[in-house]
Amino acid sequence: MTTTTTTPGTPAPGTGSGGAVLDASGVTMRFGGLTAVRDVNLDVHAGEIVGLIGPNGAGKTTFFNCLTGLYIPTEGTVRYRGTVLPHRSHLVTQAGIARTFQNIRLFANMTVLENVLVGRHTRTHEGLFSALVRGPRFRRAERESEERAMDLLRFTGLETKREHLARNLPYGEQRKLEIARALASEPGLLLLDEPTAGMTAVETTATRELVLAIRAQGTAVLVIEHDMRFIFNLCDRVAVLVRGEKLVEGTPETVQRDERVVAAYLGTPFEGEPGQAEAAEVQAAEEAEAAAHRDTAGGADAHPPDPADRRQEGRTD
């Protein structure tokens, strides 16, 4: 991992520093009468971390599946480094796009090391015959694969668990193992589908460090997430998908300030905003209560919770 990656892109953040790794244009996915993704254009440049956000059911994972060949998009093309991607997921992986899944899909009854070794499948070519003969080339390839896999396990901090079954790992480590497995295919672009779902704040921070480290090694990252703080702290660019259409794309600041995004997440107020008076009342009451609490607690560290924190605590998945 540290020595050879297929992307020699510069690790410097910022847009457009090294040509488009991924170029999806006009991707549309229809299931019967339902249009899950409508005419989405998205490009990811080398060395970039792009976030994809949107409310539940906005079509983010469907879009991911279109990119990775699990679904064949009804319209539109996906290019990786200028070549159109085939609609077979193993060929997409071979081309250089690896992914993780929203609900963890490890090979539960294989060991941690074996999981990562499966990820190396496309980068090794020893067939059945060479496995049966076990010549020196086969052994060298196996040894190299294992070394690479161990590098990745060290990179993700799982090296002590190599002989554990994947299903016996704690949740956070399973997520890490999925990333390590995806990295084993030496991707130029890594697609992460909700990598911090269900994680604690500490684990989320660790995941952010991990993603930044992956970028520092030259792999571009496209990440779906619901955790806004994670996305806005991490990404160079954020695209917002709402009801299958791309609403906004831009820097985290631009997206954060965009009214349409706020509306998509929180809904638009009615004409005349009938609830406003009540909302102000509730807010005043809360503030009063918080003030009283601060008085009794001695005012050491009882500040009102950060809205982002509160959002995180509220998440159940």
Partner 1 sequence: MTTQHTTTPAPGTADTTTATAGPPPLPLSPDPHTSRTLGRILVGTGALTAFASTMLPWTWTSAFPGNLTIAMYPAGLQLLTLTAAVLTAAMLLATAGVRGLRWLTPGGRHSALLLLTLGNLAATWYTAAAIAVELGGVVNFEPGMWIAAAGTLLAAVGALALPTDLPADLPAGLPADADADRPAPGTRQGPPWQRLRRAVAAPPPGPAAPLPGWAEILVICAACAAGLYVFAYGIEAEGGPPFIGFLILAAFAFPALGRAGLPRRLSALTVAHRTVTLAATFAAALLFPITQSNEAYTNIAVSVLIFATVALGLNMVVGLAGILDLGYVAFLGVGAYTAALVSGAETSSLGIHVPFWAAVLIGAAVALVFGLFIGFPSLRLHGDYLAIVTLGFGEIFRISVQNLDGDSGPNITNGPNGIPNIPDLKIFGFDLGQPHTVLGFEVGRFGNYYLLMLLFTAIVVTVFRRSDNSRIGRAWIAIREDETAARAMGVNAFRLKLMAFALGATLAGMAGTVLAHVEFSVTPESYKFVHTAPPNSAFLLIAVILGGMGTVSGPLIGAALLYLIPAKLQFMADYQLLLFGIALVLLMRFRPEGLIADRRKQLEFHEPEQLGTPTAAAPGLGKTEA
Binding site for partner 1 (CB under 8 A): 68, 70, 88-90, 93-94, 98-99, 101, 105-111, 114, 117-122, 124, 126-128, 131-132, 134, 138, 141-142, 145, 160, 162-165, 167-168, 181-182, 184-185
- Shortest Å, Cβ 257 to partner 1: 36
Closer residue to partner 1 in complex, CB, 160/283: 160
- Shortest Å, Cβ 50 to partner 1: 20
Residue 138: both structure tokens together: 């086969």
Closer residue to partner 1 in complex, CB, 130/233: 130
Which helix (H) or strand (E) segment is 207 a member of?
A: helix 201-216
Closer residue to partner 1 in complex, CB, 160/200: 160
Inter-axis angle of helices 307-314 and 201-216, nearest 10: 100
Residue 187 CA to residue 5 CA, distance in Å, equals 8
Residue 60 CA to residue 223 CA, distance in Å, equals 10
CA triple 215-211-262, angle to 5 deg? 110
- Shortest Å, Cβ 68 to partner 1: 6
CA triple 34-249-98, angle to 5 deg? 70
Closer residue to partner 1 in complex, CB, 124/256: 124
Closer residue to partner 1 in complex, CB, 141/201: 141
Closer residue to partner 1 in complex, CB, 204/219: 219
Closer residue to partner 1 in complex, CB, 39/146: 146
In sequence order, what are the residues at sequence separation of 6 or more whose Cβ sits closer than 8 angstroms to the Cβ of residue 11?
47, 215, 216, 217, 218
Q: For 2-158, where are the alpha helices, taking DSSP H only?
A: 60-67, 89-95, 112-119, 128-133, 136-156
- Shortest Å, Cβ 115 to partner 1: 8
In sequence order, what are the residues at sequence separation of 6 or more whose Cβ sits closer than 8 angstroms to the Cβ of residue 277?
none
Residue 202 CA to residue 55 CA, distance in Å, equals 24
In sequence order, what are the residues at sequence separation of 6 or more whose Cβ sits closer than 8 angstroms to the Cβ of residue 287?
304
Q: Are 100 and 119 in contact (CB under 8 A)?
A: no
Closer residue to partner 1 in complex, CB, 163/301: 163
Q: Are 197 and 226 in contact (CB under 8 A)?
A: yes
- Shortest Å, Cβ 201 to partner 1: 28
Closer residue to partner 1 in complex, CB, 134/293: 134
- Shortest Å, Cβ 189 to partner 1: 13
- Shortest Å, Cβ 200 to partner 1: 23
- Shortest Å, Cβ 123 to partner 1: 8
Which helix (H) or strand (E) segment is 293 a member of?
A: helix 276-297
- Shortest Å, Cβ 136 to partner 1: 15
Residue 22 CA to residue 207 CA, distance in Å, equals 23
